Amino acid sequence: MVSNLLETDVENVLDAAFAGDDEELFVVDPSAETIVSLVEVAIGRDDLPEMSMLVEERTLKNVMEDFLVASKAADLVADGELDLRVLDEAVDNALFVSASRVVVLVSSDDHVAALTSDDEEFVDEVFETHSAAFERAETYGLRTPAISRVRESMADEIGEATREDFDVVLDAIGSARGDDGGLDEVTISLLVAAKNDVLLYDISKWGEDVGIASKATFSRTKTRLEDLGVIDTEKVPIDVGRPRLRLKLGDERLRGLDADELAAEVVEMLA
């Protein structure tokens, strides 16, 4: 049987076609926007099938440049809820394929249109084809650390207050890519560290250990933010060796702001 679905978003398509029914779902050649939607849906729910994505490599790389998306995807991968593999040849339409149905997905600005079929012979053939293709496909090497590990280690090694500010900023900005004057994960880490008077050594060592970026990247970003007046530093003497630097907020407009207000103000300063 073939039927049409017209929903407001990808999550509604999943609910209408798959939630609670199938154990595995192949997602073939999704758009960047669909990948982001699927990651956001899956990270907050436990009633969806395990997702196996076959995605064109350039699309995956572009999507995973956003730390927010990539770190959530890394959590799903670590939990066995998501498997990312590289699609070696394009298909005509984005597909959702399970053992019980096939859905062809077409997105517009306001709705998601989907043509779905549960014809047993057709579904079996499509499922077997894409299952075999998935087994042959190369696993996508996601280098971004899982967001749960980032949060837990920041709380343990830097402090709960800094971790809370980190979460607030991530929730407020929506995208952590660093392009077009936005905030990336290194800038956010340094910003909340400065808000809480954390040592540069501590935040950069944490960032390198957890897999966000190297100490050198943290140092370069610190210098850029310092030149722009976003952060400042003060020397803290230690028993042996050169003094370490404590991060402080630079511009007076930034001091005393809540984390979300701080992020918005810094975005304006960086634009």
- pLDDT attached to residue 192: 97
Residue 207: other Cβ atoms inside 10 A: 26
Q: How confident is the model at residue 118 (pLDDT cuts 50, 70, 90)?
A: confident
The alpha-helical segments, DSSP class H, found in 18-159 are: 32-43, 57-63, 67-78, 120-136, 147-157
**Looking at residues 33-52, what average pLDDT do you find?**
88
Distance CA 53, CA 56 (A): 10
Angle in degrees, 0-180, between the axes of helices 185-195 and 215-227, rounded to the nearest 10 = 70
For residue 260, the model assigns a pLDDT of: 92
- What pLDDT is stored for residue 176 in this prediction? 63
Backbone angles phi, psi at 99, to 5 degrees: -70, -15
User: Tens digit of pLDDT for each residue in 49-74?
Assistant: 899 999 999 999 999 999 999 999 99
- Mean of the per-residue pLDDT values for the chain? 88
Task: Write the pLDDT tens digit of every residue in 227-264.
Answer: 999 999 999 887 776 788 999 999 888 999 999 999 99
Convert the pLDDT of each residue in 126-164 to its tens digit.
999 999 999 999 999 999 999 999 999 999 999 999 999
pLDDT at 12: 79
Amino acid 218: pLDDT: 97
CATH class entry, domain 147-270: mainly alpha
What's the rounded mean pLDDT across residues 95-117?
Answer: 82
Band (174; pLDDT cuts 50, 70, 90): confident
Q: Indicate the SS3 state at residue 124.
A: helix
User: Is the pLDDT confidence value at 7 over 90?
Assistant: no
Q: Dump pLDDT digits (tens) for 87-101.
A: 987 777 889 999 988
Superfamily of domain 2-136: Endonuclease Chain A (3.30.870.10)
pLDDT band at residue 109 under the 50/70/90 scheme? low
Q: What pLDDT shows up at residue 5?
A: 60
Across the range 7-12, mean pLDDT stands at 73
- In this chain, the answer to whether the domains covering 2-136 and 147-270 adopt an identical fold is no
Predicted confidence (pLDDT) per residue in 195-229, tens digit: 999 999 999 999 999 999 999 999 999 999 999 99
Reply yes or no on whether the pLDDT at 180 is more than 80. Answer: no
DSSP codes, 141-196? ---SPPHHHHHHHHHHHT-HHHHHHHHHHHHHHS-----TT---HHHHHHHHHHHT
> With 80 as the cut, is the pLDDT of residue 80 above it?
yes
What residue segments make up the domains of the chain, in order of their start?
A: 2-136, 147-270
